[in-house]
Amino acid sequence: MSSRTDLLVRISELYYQQNLSQQDISKITGISRPTISRLLDEAKETGVVEIIVHSPINKNPQLSHLVRTTFGLRDAVIVAGDYEFDQSLTRCAHCAVDFLSTVLENNMSIGISWGRALEALCDVLEPTDYSDYYNVTVVQMVGCLGTGNPRVDGLELALRLSKKVHGTYSNIYAPVYVDSELVYSYLTAEPQIEATLKKAGSVDIILTGIGSLNDANGSLYKSGCYNAEERKELMRRGAVSSLLGRMFDINGNEVQLDSRYVISAPLEAMRTPAWSIGINASAEKAECTLAAVRGKYINVLVADEALARRMLEMEGVAVPE
């Protein structure tokens, strides 16, 4: 080894293996503390020191950084590997749970939507990981699907998540869509629903999946909340994505059907919290996820590699192999 490499190894051994402070190393070697700091940085840059983070699920740090900086997100977690949709979504859910544990604090409120991503999150979240929290409230931000699989509906998800974080919940006991303005006005003026919708506008954290109008297995479509003709009309008007039961185009502009009233927080409520965390998987979901990002409805994305790569390609960004 060269004398320079010998020096880098020596400084690194003292710092990482013997757990000495930079000030202590400075006293031992006679090298100034600022120089010690620069040498430690050089040791990492030249490969003398390799830092390995042992995570239960491997992530792609290069793609995570590229997605975060390209789309101006507060953070991005891109799960490494190529898996079938269900397995990918479960792995993303694990990472979302890990991320949640780093930002959740006592006395906070968590706003949720519905769908398979949140079902997966509730499945993998261990109550023991959240036993030290208190006074956490889970707020249902959008009305109920009402039919289909109850495990993906907001009512059940709010109950499950609140139990796992040892908190309480606020539900919206109303359908997501009504066709009458009078019924809409009556329901949203009902004190319990009105109070929950008000809470939904000021939550601290949002956890949400991102719906695609191209997905025949999507929660909204499978529950019968809109039919094939309505789906076709929404797409004709430019809709590609949905959050909180509200449709929007590739640039995040809301798209509405005539005489369709949505019982949920407005899309603008997605921009309010410090952490609005979107969870999605598969390249087929890239368009709807890109729309949510462009609309600034999420500021944290937890996704798999396939989705991240397709999003970057759609944005015209060179994607590393």
Q: How far apart are CA 36 and CA 238, in angstroms?
A: 57
Residue that wins the pLDDT comparison between 321 and 2: 321
Residue 218 three-state SS:
coil
Q: What is the pLDDT of residue 2?
A: 65
Asked if 288 and 235 count as a contact pair (C-beta separation under 8 A), the reply is: no
Where in the chain do CATH 1.10.10.60 domains reside?
A: 3-45
Averaged confidence pLDDT in the chain: 93
Q: How far apart are CA 297 and CA 278, in angstroms?
A: 9
- Residue 61's CB is within 10 A of a number of other CB atoms, namely 12
Asked if 11 and 49 count as a contact pair (C-beta separation under 8 A), the reply is: no
267-287 pLDDT, tens digit per residue, is: 999 999 999 999 999 999 999
Where in the chain do CATH 3.40.50.1360 domains reside?
A: 61-314
pTM for the structure as a whole: 0.84
| pLDDT beyond 70 at 8 | yes
| pLDDT beyond 60 at 78 | yes
Which CATH entry fits the domain spanning 3-45: 1.20.1280.50, 1.10.10.60, 3.50.50.60, 3.40.50.300? 1.10.10.60
Nearest to 48 by CA among 11, 17, 9: 9
Asked if 290 and 311 count as a contact pair (C-beta separation under 8 A), the reply is: yes
Distances (CA, A) of 70 to 52, 67, 76, 275: 25, 5, 11, 18
Which CATH entry fits the domain spanning 61-314: 3.40.50.1360, 1.10.10.350, 3.40.50.880, 3.40.190.10? 3.40.50.1360
Q: How far apart are CA 288 and CA 285, in angstroms?
A: 6
| Among 117-126, 131-140, 145-154, 273-282, the least confident range | 145-154
